[in-house]
């Protein structure tokens, strides 16, 4: 008899605890458009997860918001800085308390969840045509046919490799599929006299495990959810195989979960402890700051199995549905979504500008990894796709890790994750 996912979880003794993803009354229709026809004036708050640290604060408050103030002298903006680890909780708290910020930054995949909960307001669709966007970039800004955000910056997940290590091993081309990746990774793995691994062939673990697995899923012709966001699709053979690849490479020693590096620290590629790694296009800025001598030794490629695919993350700007000064909030959304602000934000973080009109800018031309990402946007895929995403999202990494550390098989971990996702979607 075939076990249902719910019965499987019970048999394994695994719970389906959920992550709080919002306390507002849910609706499938989204909030009505806010009346932003009046003058832009009044006090507004901006919950911001984009301009990090002292440099980011100076970029936003010392540059961009000063320009905004000149244009809208009657609007006062108070910035609440946060990071993506705390952003969902802060928005959730705002919804529950009735003190939702007027303007918020949101990640790719987040729009369906917060539009469904009436947390953010639809924007005029003409804003989507004011500037030029790749459709793959603009699509995550929509829900139920309506525009809810303007995309600002993109952060793609790509593969980077050490050209010098490839040359030493006599490898001339980057892998075209997972079979080639596995063979190359074995050749590139280096052990000491005692057999201890000194350099792995492949490091998939120094980026977020959720994002890495999704990249492989898309590159294996898999999908996360059905177009309507109501059916789990990642639990097919494509998703299981994407996770199994990690386990197989750990088993043969060409990958090592313990070798992962922390964000901001020199990567395994920089340290010479990996030959290939999954990374973010912002690696170029990190190389400039930490390892300029390696810039010419590092190349990039798009990972794939049945087809090349890169994950497209990023940051979007949205307006609260409950803003008491909607005209002021709309003005800030439009300002931060404009080319000048997008370019400044991209330069500050080493990100890809979301507006296609900026691809010929000196910034894009001068950053090889950003330029590479722009050239390959036709291979980009976004996470999310269901109003239950914020609840599911937080469970993906810890569930996948149970397989990576040997507590479950790939099939069991994916089945557990699918059960969590099914339950979250059923509660919509």
pLDDT tens across the length of the chain (428 residues) = 333 333 333 333 333 333 333 333 334 455 565 677 789 999 999 999 999 889 999 999 999 999 999 999 999 999 999 998 899 999 989 888 888 999 999 999 999 999 999 999 999 999 999 999 999 999 999 999 999 999 999 999 999 999 999 999 999 999 999 999 999 999 999 999 998 999 999 999 999 999 999 999 999 999 999 999 999 999 999 999 999 999 999 999 999 998 888 888 999 999 999 999 999 999 999 999 999 999 999 999 999 999 999 999 999 999 999 999 999 999 999 999 999 999 999 999 899 999 999 999 999 999 999 999 999 999 999 999 999 999 999 999 999 999 999 999 999 999 999 999 999 999 99
Cα separation, 166 vs 189, in Å, equals: 11
Cα separation, 65 vs 204, in Å, equals: 38
CA dist 162 → 58, 180, 191, 355 (Å) = 35, 16, 17, 31
Cα separation, 311 vs 322, in Å, equals: 32
pLDDT at 27: 42
pLDDT at 405: 96
**Contacts of residue 137, Cβ cutoff 8 Å, sequence gap at least 6:** 151, 154, 312, 314, 354, 356, 377, 380
Spatial contact of 415 and 5, defined as CB atoms under 8 Å apart: yes
């Amino acid at each position: 008899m075939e076990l249902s996912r719910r019965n499987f979880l019970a048999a394994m003794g695994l719970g389906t605890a959920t992550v709080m993803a919002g306390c507002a009354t849910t609706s499938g229709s989204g909030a009505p458009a806010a009346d932003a026809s009046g003058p832009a004036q009044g006090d507004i708050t901006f919950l911001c997860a984009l301009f990090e640290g002292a440099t980011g604060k100076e970029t936003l408050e010392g540059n961009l918001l000063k320009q905004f103030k000149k244009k809208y002298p009657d609007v006062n903006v108070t910035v609440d800085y946060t990071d993506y680890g705390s952003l969902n909780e802060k928005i959730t708290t705002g919804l529950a308390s009735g003190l939702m910020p007027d303007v918020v930054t949101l990640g790719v995949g987040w729009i369906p969840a917060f539009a469904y909960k009436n947390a953010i307001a639809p924007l005029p669709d003409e804003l989507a045509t004011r500037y030029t966007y790749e459709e793959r970039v603009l699509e995550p800004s929509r829900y139920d046919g309506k525009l809810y955000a303007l995309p600002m910056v993109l952060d793609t997940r790509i593969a980077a490799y050490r050209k010098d290590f490839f040359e030493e091993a006599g490898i001339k081309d980057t892998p075209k599929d997972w079979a080639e990746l596995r063979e190359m990774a074995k050749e590139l793995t280096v052990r000491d006299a005692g057999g201890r691994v000194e350099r792995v062939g492949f490091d998939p673990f120094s980026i977020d495990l959720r994002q890495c697995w999704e990249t492989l899923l898309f590159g294996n012709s898999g999908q996360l959810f059905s177009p309507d966001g109501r059916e789990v699709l990642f639990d097919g053979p494509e998703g299981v195989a994407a996770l199994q690849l990690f386990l197989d490479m750990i088993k043969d020693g060409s990958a090592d979960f313990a070798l992962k590096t922390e964000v901001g620290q020199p990567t395994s590629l920089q340290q010479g402890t990996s030959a290939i790694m999954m990374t973010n296009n912002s690696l170029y800025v990190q190389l400039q700051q930490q390892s300029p001598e390696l810039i010419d030794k590092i190349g990039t490629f798009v990972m794939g199995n049945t087809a090349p695919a890169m994950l497209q993350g990023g940051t979007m700007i949205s307006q609260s549905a409950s803003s008491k000064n909607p005209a002021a909030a709309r003005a800030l959304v439009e300002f931060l979504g404009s080319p000048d602000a997008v370019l400044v934000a991209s330069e500050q973080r080493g990100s890809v500008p979301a507006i296609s009109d900026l691809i010929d800018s000196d910034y894009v031309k001068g950053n090889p990894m950003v330029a590479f990402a722009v050239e390959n946007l036709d291979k980009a895929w976004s996470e999310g796709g269901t109003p239950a995403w914020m609840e599911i999202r937080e469970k993906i990494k810890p569930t996948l890790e149970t397989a990576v550390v040997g507590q479950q098989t790939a099939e069991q971990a994916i089945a557990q994750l699918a059960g969590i996702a099914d339950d979250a979607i059923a509660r919509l």
